[in-house]
Amino acid sequence: MKKLRKRVFMTAGYNTVAFGSGRKEFNPKKPRPGLEEYIKEAGQGALKLVGGAGNVDEGVIGNFMAAKFNNQGNLAALIPFIDEGLKWKPSCRVEGACCSGGLALVTAIKSVLAETADVVLTLGVEVQNTVKAIYGADILAGAGWYKERKSGHAFFFPGKFSDRAGAYFDKYGMERTRKALARWYRNAVENARLVPTAQEYHNTQEDLEAAALTKPNPRSFVDQLNVYDCSKVSDGAAAIAVVSEEGLKKAGVAEKDAIEVVGFAAVEADLTAAPSDLTRLDTTERAVKMALESAGIRAGDLGTVECHDCFTITGILSVEAIGLVKQGEGPDFVSAGHTARNGKIPFNTTGGLIGWGHPTGASGVRQAVTIWEQLTRKAGNAQIEVSDSRPYALSISMGGNDRTVVAIVYRRAAEEKQ
CA distance 178 to 214: 10
Percent residues over pLDDT 70 in the chain: 98
User: Which pairing describes strands 392-399 and 302-306: parallel, antiparallel, or unpaired?
Assistant: parallel
* Closest C-alpha to 201, from 188, 211, 183, 182: 188
CA distances from 300 to 4, 96, 328, 376, 393 (A): 21, 29, 18, 21, 11
Backbone φ/ψ region at 380: left (φ over 0), alpha (ψ -120 to 50), beta: left
pLDDT at residue 392, rounded to an integer: 98
- CATH number of the structural domain spanning residue 323: 3.40.47.10
Angle at 392 between CA 387 and CA 398, to 5 degrees: 135
Instruction: Write down the H helix ranges in 276-380.
Output: 282-295, 312-322, 330-335, 352-355, 363-375
pLDDT digits (tens, 9 = 90+) for 284-342: 999 999 999 999 999 999 999 999 999 999 999 999 999 999 999 999 999 999 999 99
pTM for the model stands at 0.97
Residue 325 makes CB contacts below 8 A (sequence gap 6+) with 319, 332, 333
pLDDT tens for 56-67 read 999 999 999 999
Evaluate if residue 154 carries a pLDDT over 90. no
What local confidence, expressed as pLDDT, does residue 302 receive? 98
Write the CA distances from 285 to 43, 350, 407, integer angstroms.
32, 23, 10
Strand order in the sheet with 58-62: 91-94, 58-62, 119-127, 235-243, 8-15, 259-268, 404-412, 392-399, 302-306
Place 417 in a pLDDT band, splitting at 50, 70 and 90.
Answer: very low
The domain tally of the chain equals 1
C-alpha distance from residue 135 to each of 56, 131, 154, 233, 354 (Å) = 38, 6, 9, 12, 20
Q: Summarize pLDDT for 252-286 with one digit per residue, the tens.
A: 999 999 999 999 999 999 999 999 999 999 999 99
Give the Cα separation of 366 and 58 in Å (integer).
Answer: 19
Given a cut of 50, whether residue 415 has pLDDT beyond it is no
The string of pLDDT tens digits covering residues 86-133 is 999 999 999 999 999 999 999 999 999 999 999 999 999 999 999 988
- Please state, in angstroms and as integers, the Cα–Cα distance from residue 117 to each residue in 60, 239, 243, 388, 405, following that order: 12, 17, 8, 31, 24
Mean pLDDT of the residues in the chain: 96
On the question of pLDDT at 416 being above 50, the answer is: no
Name the residue among 317, 358, 356, 360 with its Cα closest to residue 339. 317
Are the CB atoms for 79 and 341 separated by under 8 Å?
Answer: no
CA distances from 74 to 85, 298, 372 (A): 19, 40, 29
Residue 30 vs residues 4, 41, 131, 140: alpha-carbon distances, Å = 48, 20, 14, 24
Domain boundaries, position 100? 1-418
DSSP lists the bridge partners of residue 184 as: none
pLDDT tens per residue, range 6-55: 999 999 999 999 999 999 999 988 999 999 999 999 999 999 999 999 99
In this predicted structure, the answer to whether residue 231 has a pLDDT above a threshold of 90 is yes
Tell me phi and psi for residue 331, to 5 degrees.
-60, -40
